[in-house]
Amino acid sequence: MFVNLKISEIVPNPDQPRKFFDEAKLKELAGSIKENGLLQPVVVRPTESAEAPYVLIAGERRWRSCKEAGLETIPAKVIKDASEEKAYVLSIAENVNREDMTIMEEAGAYADLKAAGWTPAKIAKQFGKTETHITWRLGLLTLRPEVAKMVDEGHIKNNLAWHIAQLSPANQMVAAMRYVRGDFDSEAEAQHFANGLKMMEKQTSLTNEEPPSEEVQEQRKKARAKAKDGLGKAEDILIPLFEELGEKKPEDLAVILGTDLDRYVRVVGKIYSQVQQVRNLLSKAQGVQRAMAAEFNKAAVEVQQEAAQQKATKPQAAKRQGAAKPEGSATAAAKPTARKAAAKPAAPRAKATGAGAGKSPAPTAPAQKKTEPVAGAAKTAEPATAK
């Protein structure tokens, strides 16, 4: 049913998948509406909300532009039996193929349907997409907010965004920032770097492999020398040949090469195919190498931070030990002195007892006189111990 409704009677859908509206394009559409009217009605459904009797299903951009144009009424199609889920599906269907719907908005819409029990296959069928397309979009939802914003603003392309989304949050920032600041010659190089970081993340340790044996080291050395020698031959022979052929005109080559022309076409085509394959492999290897360098740099920073932390804690520990030493030393010094002082009277008494047992008691008196000053010394030691 099509009716003219007051714009004030309609409110936007709070669950609208699109969150971003280009102000310049809204004003451009408002100007067109002023001149030609609204050609496509909005879609609404009745609501029991006290704020307004209708809520938008589709056409929020048109509704906003009509308000911008100063219109009081707007043509609308009213769907009375639309459930919230059906209304949401219709809203996605209207926006999913629009150029100005961001990729992260699209991913969020699919995620809402998945949370409601929809499978990627069902979502794909509903909106005319492939299941792979839906899965890739859902995979973007693991992006940290800063990187997701770069994707929405077009600084990072969709395919690269998916590769970055497979990384840990910290490595997402590493890959994204290096790409945005222009560290890579192509998007493919950035993808290979992200894949290299993912490979590093799967390793439990940077030193989880045994050092290569002498035999393996010798094999690598020979392989490196052979590759270097082969590359030198290519630079000496192939590149000059291709440069020479590239300077000729087609009609000249047809005459110069004669019956060998077909052979040249076949051999150069084979070389071209191999070069493309090897170029891709080398780019992947370069990505792994860069990721390894980034991982080692990260590990080096962590080691430096740990060493600095240990260096900072050593003086504090030494200071605490130094503060504890005087009290312990005084106590330790006092106790042996007291024990030594207390032990002195015991020795003469033992001698006296021994002498008295074997001879006459005559030497006993001098022995007792000797013990008197020692007893005094023991008394002097007692306060020192107490202190």
Q: Which of 60, 105, 106, 295 is catalytic?
A: 60
Helices and strands (H, E) in the chain, number of each type: 16, 5
User: Tokens representing 221?
Assistant: 């050395």
Determine which helix (DSSP H) or strand (DSSP E) holds 142, and give its type and residue range. none
Alpha-carbon span 72 to 144, nearest angstrom: 42
User: Tokens representing 249?
Assistant: 């005109």
> Does residue 92 contact residue 18 with C-beta atoms inside 8 Å?
no
> Does residue 160 contact residue 187 with C-beta atoms inside 8 Å?
yes
Angstrom CA distances, 276 to 20, 212, 269, 281, stand at 41, 31, 11, 9
> Does residue 166 contact residue 143 with C-beta atoms inside 8 Å?
no
Alpha-carbon span 246 to 206, nearest angstrom: 47
Return all residues near 155 (Cβ < 8 A) that are at least 6 apart: 180
- Residue 60 falls in the annotated catalytic set: yes
> φ, ψ for residue 43 (rounded to 5)?
-115, 130
> Does residue 65 contact residue 26 with C-beta atoms inside 8 Å?
yes
User: Tokens representing 47?
Assistant: 């609501």
3-state secondary structure of 77: strand
DSSP string, 354-382: HHHHHS-STTHHHHHHHHHHHHHHHHHHH
284 Cα distance to chain centroid? 20
Return all residues near 333 (Cβ < 8 A) that are at least 6 apart: none
Alpha-carbon span 129 to 272, nearest angstrom: 35
Alpha-carbon span 145 to 155, nearest angstrom: 14
Return all residues near 84 (Cβ < 8 A) that are at least 6 apart: 15
For the annotated catalytic residues, the residue numbers are 60
